[in-house]
Amino acid sequence: MPDGSLTVFMRGRLRFEVKSWLQDEPFFKADVTYLEDTIPDMDNEFAAMIATVRDMAEQIMRKSNNVPPEASIVLKNIENISFLNHFIASNLNCDTKEKQALLEEHDFTKRTEDLLRLLQVELQHVELKNKISDKTRGELDKQQRDYFLNQQMKAIKDELGGDSNDREVKDLQKRAEGKKWSEAAKEMFTKGIEKLERMHPSTPDYSTVYNHIDLLLDLPWEEYTEDIYDIKKARKVLDDDHYGMDRIKDRILEYLAVLKLKGDMKSPILCFIGPPGIGKTSLGKSIANAIGRKYVRFSLGGLHDESELRGHRKTYIGAMPGRIIQSLRKVKSSNPVFILDEIDKIGRDHRGDPSSALLEILDPEQNNSFYDNYLELEYDLSKVLFIATANSLGDIQPALRDRLEIIDLSGYAVEEKVEIAKKHLVPKQKEAHGLDKFSIKITNPVLSKLITEYTRESGVRELERQIASVMRNLAMKAAMDENINSFEVNAELVEEVLGKPKYTNDLFNKPNPPGVAIGLAWTYVGGEMLFIETSISKGKGGLTLTGNLGNIMKESASTALAYIQAHTTDLKIDPAFFDNNNLHIHVPEGAVPKDGPSAGITMMTAIISAITHKRVKPMLAMTGEITLRGQVLPVGGIKEKILAAKRAGMKEIILCAQNEKDVIEINPGYIKGLKFHYVNEMKEVLKLALEK
């Protein structure tokens, strides 16, 4: 060969048997005996066997990829049956021992049968190999086809002018790694991703699907903040932020204590009822700080559309999740303190009743599976601490009110407002007006003057505005004179800045003529003094009521008159008086609507005072409902009414005996100087109220 190697071609001619081995070197040499093949007669069976051998050999050659086509031609041209067997056996892909066994078999028929067996095995091996090869080739072809189609799809998207959404999809999938969520949310995310992958960014529904998936990822499905179980620390935080309000603070600490002992519990649904400006909403934020939770606030005032709470369906243009889900998405916590502000001011119209949607949200037995129309999944709200605020309990839907744990918040006494001003309002306004570095002295009497003469409220909002006015004046003086580093706020400065006092008690301190009595009323802004005026004129027994009175007050006046007419003998009144005279009852401040049963005893006292010409004792106020039998019934808002009487300079107050328990709850220091009379019947009221 050109490369110096030697190639030897060998061809087997006959079978032989080695008798003895003669040498190994320099070549093999042995004594052999040639073995001739004895070919049997070509009967039908043997001929069929040879034909089968030839046919199977051709099948193997045809199905083998490594056998050249010429081999089949050679096979067809072999006529010597013995050579045919040796040729086929030598090219079989089988073990050498099996080939040797064929050579050593003297019976030609038996050797042909063994060859057929080996051919059958070889044919099966070749067919299996081809099957595996075809399957592998098919999978490779499919991968190549998919790759080709994806490349074409990418090219089409590029031609349409839009960017591929692959980056956005991968970003969403990356955000989903390690996400804690429910199985339903995970399944919806997977379906959304599959849908997004099939869509082009320019299609109308693309943004809808993307925004929904984005919401699923942003929501805190099982993400909770750890509660602070230090009761003493929580109490200190609440006390530092808000003065008084012991009932609410105790309720929150009780909840925290149970949570600490039990480890898990359904959050209560609290509702703070009280006048404006007393700190209901800000107390919610303080509670969140005290127990270590996040804070979120949602104002319900003026809300008319139920979809604002439950969300809009995704099919609508501009659809959004409800405000509950939006708030949780923003705060990134499944157990925040959630303030539902102004729950008593929810509206309703043709778009639905939001109060009905709140029934599910605020029910501890149902809110673990709150359904949002946009989210299209149930969300667990049971760990959220919902706190509702309202000014009036009567304006809350009864079914909704039944789900709330009501905590009444009364207005502040003057002494409480002084402490709140010193600890919170004055420092806050100093900082707000850049006066932190200045020493500002405001004494308690000056603060009391601000409270009693320039404000008339249960809360402290107006007081804060008056303090802000004083601070602005001080800031102007500090800016004009750089040598000033301290200020003292006195009564003269207050009048210089705020003008003459807006409110005085002169009206209540003056002696009143017969027919005038002072009552106590409760409004959503707190307690108020209420004059009841009665005049008598000649007539035929008519009763006129003026002063923008509601139906309940009108009925109270009719009840009082009916009682008087039925007891003229006891009251020493001429029965004919009512046939010849008209009564006119008026309640001043006619522009302000008034209603309620608590003016009943005041109206009756004023009527009897006018008829008998006996004046009502000065500096005396009263409140209570009356019946036709002359009984005095308890009324609400006692603390606010008493504080209003205290502000007005009253000395004595007449109350129903059953309201004594409400007086006991008031700090004795706040009602010092007031004398209380507790009555059960109208006779006792008249004995206490009318002068001799």
Residues with active-site annotation: 598, 641
Give the CA distances from residue 48 to residues 42, 55, 80, 151, 254, in Å, rounded to whole numbers and listed in that order.
Answer: 9, 10, 16, 57, 101
Residue 97: CB atoms within 10 Å: 7
Residue 573: CB atoms within 10 Å: 16
Dist CA 370 CA 382 (whole Å): 9
Dist CA 291 CA 330 (whole Å): 20
Q: At what angle do helices 246-262 and 280-291 cross, to 10 degrees?
A: 30
DSSP string, 453-512: HH---SSSHHHHHHHHHHHHHHHHHHHH-TT--EEEE-HHHHHHHH-S-S--SHHHHSPP
Q: Please give the structure tokens belonging to residue 676.
A: 């209380």
Of 692, 689, 544, 548, the closest CA to residue 623 belongs to: 689
Residues 573 and 533 sit within 8 Å (Cβ to Cβ): no
3-state secondary structure string across 389-432: EECCHHHCCHHHHCCCEEEECCCCCHHHHHHHHHHHHHHHHHHH
Bridge-based pairing state of the strands 620-622 and 652-656: parallel
Residues comprising the chain, all counted:
692
Query: Strand pairing partners for 656?
Result: 679
Dist CA 446 CA 278 (whole Å): 21
Query: CB under 8 Å to 464, separation ≥6 — which residues?
Result: 425, 428, 429
Of 544, 561, 652, 644, the closest CA to residue 606 belongs to: 561
Residues 364 and 319 sit within 8 Å (Cβ to Cβ): no
Query: CB under 8 Å to 30, separation ≥6 — which residues?
Result: 18, 19, 20, 21, 22
